[in-house]
A and B are shown apart, each in its own frame.
Chain A
């Protein structure tokens, strides 16, 4: 099953932290496609879809950040009302819980990035229902 790697990085919830992370990535010549920030009180976790996740993770770790790579699935859906619902409905029918979800639209293609307990299983389920699951390369070139 096609999965996509995200870079997750721990950062304190105070001014300047996102700038530090993005500065490190800029210096490492990393391109960011998509970013989410989940904060919980005094800290947060930034998740980034980037062109070179391994290099991005290493650059962040080198600067002392706690960073790790996570497997998620990127599913393409039509850019029209009800599209997200059809994905959510399909996962719900198979009792799959969505933890973090984000999305972006590029070149008239809507991409949903979802984190689930078992990416391979969720990917299979969505594929069976006719959804296109993107490879890392596709996710970066849409």
Chain B
């Protein structure tokens, strides 16, 4: 199903022509922003020199630090009266990043969400329970407006307690949810403990998960536990929030709306482009925003372009699920390691649980703590040491380092709530 078939299936040459037109318009708009005007002067680049969408590479990068330095409104590209809404991205350190929306930006963000929901078969007959946090976080309101645009009945549940979520689902026959993947796993556990079989007592059909990187195994686990289809989604506050890239029914990579964003994948160390299919840092230029467009924003998210067209007919290229953040990357004994690699290994082993902690100590000692799942215990100490070795060996095959593996009791590691904190780095390097 298409929300706007013409835009979604625009032939590549026409799509690239549209990108060029919008990119030029955006650069012209940004000449009014002191931060960018200074950057253009420094590089000697004139907007009219942009001859193709690929010339985006001649433009300067924008980083999270730039957003913080220009907080609160240094990057605003319209007058204050034209601003309709503000969202911020929580800064773990220091100031947050602020993003402004004009009326057209609010509407356009909803439009992109509507495309995304529609492409998985969501219709106005659906009941959409938004279990993401409302408020400054975009996952609540931006998604809400998109689901309303489709015509769904939207329940702005927010994250709330599982008891209340379940009550809403039962009483209003919720069919679609928007939820953090870690919370979806937790919620599935909750239903199991309550003895609620979602296949029998709930009307759920689909879940959109996002805001946290997660693995294919996590998706399958949620699908199996809740008996629904789970679609991955990608977005970031700096680019409207959710709705940048979503999966179609093929569940094979996320279509990134290229009529709204110019997409690049670069080597985070050198800034040079990497070829299709190779993993690098996603860099996005918002070319259809009024209030606060950003040029070549360094997302820090690692992904790759999936080469080739998609069976669904959409011409907007697909990106692979996010495999990590360039700033999540651990360097241990000179090897680059992403926590998601470790997660992938652990999720494939039924004898151990879902939660894990990576601990780095001393010079470069790596310990992975995993929970023994009660089903994996037969009373034999020998089998447990064997299991530890097995986990260590599988991890070595994935990350090229053999960590120390420590089995801990089920439920003793912190449960992933919100953005999971998995790495404890106490190295004395």
Q: Give chain A's interface residues, CB within 8 Å of chain B.
A: 6, 8, 10-12, 38-45, 47, 61, 64-70, 99-100
- Residues on B with C-beta less than 8 A from A43 are 372, 384, 406-408
Is the Cβ of A66 less than 8 Å from the Cβ of B406? no
Other contacts beyond A42-B406, A68-B379: 6, CB < 8 A: A45-B379, A45-B380, A65-B409, A66-B372, A69-B379, A99-B380
- Residues on A with C-beta less than 8 A from B52 are none
Is the Cβ of B409 less than 8 Å from the Cβ of A47? no
B residues 377-411 near A (Cβ < 8 Å) are 377-382, 384-385, 406-411
* Residue in A11, A64, A70 whose CB lies within 8 Å of B379: A70
B residues 335-379 near A (Cβ < 8 Å) are 372-374, 376-379
19 sample A-B contacts, Cβ–Cβ < 8 Å, listed by A number: A8-B377, A8-B379, A10-B377, A11-B409, A12-B408, A12-B412, A39-B381, A42-B406, A43-B408, A45-B379, A45-B380, A64-B410, A65-B374, A65-B409, A66-B374, A66-B409, A69-B379, A99-B380, A99-B382
Is the Cβ of A10 less than 8 Å from the Cβ of B409? yes
Residues A66 and B381 in contact in the complex (CB < 8 Å), given A10-B372, A61-B374: no
Residues A67 and B412 in contact in the complex (CB < 8 Å), given A10-B384, A43-B384: no
Q: What's the minimum C-beta distance from B349 to chain A, rounded to whole angstroms?
A: 15
- Residues on A with C-beta less than 8 A from B410 are 64-66
Residues A40 and B409 in contact in the complex (CB < 8 Å), given A10-B372, A66-B373, A67-B374: no
B379's nearest neighbour on chain A, judged by CB, is A8
Q: Whole-angstrom distance between the alpha carbons of A100 and B406 in the complex?
A: 23
Q: What's the minimum C-beta distance from B97 to chain A, rounded to whole angstroms?
A: 40
Is the Cβ of B409 less than 8 Å from the Cβ of A68? no
Q: Whole-angstrom distance between the alpha carbons of A6 and B376 in the complex?
A: 17
Q: What's the minimum C-beta distance from B370 to chain A, rounded to whole angstroms?
A: 11
Is the Cβ of B374 less than 8 Å from the Cβ of A38? no
Is the Cβ of B381 less than 8 Å from the Cβ of A40? yes
Q: Whole-angstrom distance between the alpha carbons of A11 and B412 in the complex?
A: 11
Q: What's the minimum C-beta distance from B425 to chain A, rounded to whole angstroms?
A: 20
- Residues on B with C-beta less than 8 A from A68 are 377-379
Q: What's the minimum C-beta distance from A113 to chain B, rounded to whole angstroms?
A: 13
Q: Whole-angstrom distance between the alpha carbons of A30 and B17 in the complex?
A: 77
A17's nearest neighbour on chain B, judged by CB, is B409
What number of residue pairs across chains A and B have CB atoms under 8 A from each other? Answer: 59
Residues of B in contact with A, size category? 10 to 19
Is the Cβ of A40 less than 8 Å from the Cβ of B374? no
Is the Cβ of B406 less than 8 Å from the Cβ of A47? no
Q: What's the minimum C-beta distance from A32 to chain B, rounded to whole angstroms?
A: 16
Q: What's the minimum C-beta distance from B394 to chain A, rounded to whole angstroms?
A: 19
Q: Give chain B's interface residues, CB within 8 Å of chain A.
A: 372-374, 376-382, 384-385, 406-412
Q: Whole-angstrom distance between the alpha carbons of A99 and B407 in the complex?
A: 22
- Residues on A with C-beta less than 8 A from B376 are 66
- Residues on B with C-beta less than 8 A from A64 are 409-411
Q: Whole-angstrom distance between the alpha carbons of A43 and B377 in the complex?
A: 13
Please list the 4 inter-chain residue pairs (A to B) with the smallest Cβ-Cβ separation, ordered nearest first: A8-B379, A66-B377, A66-B374, A70-B379
Q: What's the minimum C-beta distance from B272 to chain A, rounded to whole angstroms?
A: 44
- Residues on B with C-beta less than 8 A from A61 are 374
- Residues on A with C-beta less than 8 A from B378 are 8, 68, 70
Q: Whole-angstrom distance between the alpha carbons of A6 and B407 in the complex?
A: 22
A44's nearest neighbour on chain B, judged by CB, is B381
Residues A47 and B412 in contact in the complex (CB < 8 Å), given A10-B372, A67-B374: no
Q: Whole-angstrom distance between the alpha carbons of A38 and B378 in the complex?
A: 14
Q: What's the minimum C-beta distance from A34 to chain B, rounded to whole angstroms?
A: 15
A61's nearest neighbour on chain B, judged by CB, is B374
Q: What's the minimum C-beta distance from B345 to chain A, rounded to whole angstroms?
A: 20
- Residues on B with C-beta less than 8 A from A12 are 408-409, 412
* Residue in A11, A40, A70 whose CB lies within 8 Å of B385: A40
- Residues on B with C-beta less than 8 A from A6 are 379
B375's nearest neighbour on chain A, judged by CB, is A66
A42's nearest neighbour on chain B, judged by CB, is B406
Q: Whole-angstrom distance between the alpha carbons of A8 and B409 in the complex?
A: 14
Q: Whole-angstrom distance between the alpha carbons of A65 and B410 in the complex?
A: 7
- Residues on A with C-beta less than 8 A from B374 are 61, 65-67
Q: Whole-angstrom distance between the alpha carbons of A99 and B380 in the complex?
A: 9
- Residues on A with C-beta less than 8 A from B382 are 99
- Residues on A with C-beta less than 8 A from B406 are 41-43
Q: Whole-angstrom distance between the alpha carbons of A10 and B406 in the complex?
A: 13
Residues A45 and B412 in contact in the complex (CB < 8 Å), given A66-B372, A66-B373, A66-B376: no
Q: Whole-angstrom distance between the alpha carbons of A61 and B410 in the complex?
A: 10
- Residues on B with C-beta less than 8 A from A10 are 372, 377, 384, 407, 409
Q: What's the minimum C-beta distance from A94 to chain B, rounded to whole angstroms?
A: 22
Q: Whole-angstrom distance between the alpha carbons of A41 and B377 in the complex?
A: 17
Residues A45 and B384 in contact in the complex (CB < 8 Å), given A66-B374, A67-B374, A68-B377: yes
Q: What's the minimum C-beta distance from B127 to chain A, rounded to whole angstroms?
A: 35
* Residue in A38, A65, A69 whose CB lies within 8 Å of B381: A38
Q: What's the minimum C-beta distance from B330 to chain A, rounded to whole angstroms?
A: 22
Residues A67 and B384 in contact in the complex (CB < 8 Å), given A42-B406, A42-B407: no
